[in-house]
Each structure stands twice: as structure tokens, then as C-alpha cells.
Amino acid sequence: MAEVVNASADNFEVALKDSEQRSQQGSAILLLLFLADHDAALGRSWCPDCVRAEPVINKAIESSSRKGRTVRLLRVYVGDRPTWRSPSHPLRIDRRLQLKGVPTLIRWENGSIIGRLEDYEAHLENKIEELLS
């Protein structure tokens, strides 16, 4: 079964702590997915890589859930393009995350990264499956 929680840079720390606790209680795989915000004028995300990757990631998580794995997805929206492009963006300067681009998919366990897919590979189904196994 998959559980999805949405967060932003502003409430990331609280959402991460809660997700860590819930994942540990239920022995769930915890994934952090960093995405660009939706642009109302476009009717979708301003980031074409996010538009391409998100449905593939969701499909892989659903498939993994059907196989009996419990997955908790913390979906973190990084902001609009100018906000994300700032070198001082809080998620860019977070030493634990070292985010360089979106989308970024991270498998998180015991307070650290145990696997990650960067923006150029986050849409590859086989890579997502490897991250989940």
C-alpha cells in the first residue's frame, strides 16, 4: 500500500520527521520526491522533467505496493522557477540532500540517503524499480 504526503520547503522538516516515524512503525519504504510547483498559467508543472517523471514514479510505486511492499512517498514541492533557481534555496543548501535539480527521487532510511535518482534519470522505470527493491 502507498501513502502520499505533500510538503513544501517551508514545512519539509516537520513532514520528514513525521514520515520517518510512520515509516519505521509500519516498516515502509520511505521515498522523498522533490518536484517543481505547478504553474497555473501552464496548467501543469513548470518543469518538463517533472511532468515526464511523476507518472512513471507513481506507476512504479503502485506496482511495488501490489507486490506487498509498503511505500510512503513524501512529495516535496520546491517552488516556482525563480524560487528554485536561487542558490540559497533551503533545499539546495541542505547538506543532507544536496539537491541540484528536480525531479529528484531519494530513498531515505535511518536519517540518510541510501539511494537516489537525479533529474536526468528519475523517469526511468528500471531505475525506480531498483531503488524500490
Active site residues: 47, 50
Q: 111: alpha, beta or left, given left = phi > 0 and alpha = psi -120 to 50?
A: left
Q: Which three cell numbers stand for residue 57?
A: 514514479
Whole-Å CA distances, 128 to 18, 84, 99, 118: 24, 24, 18, 11
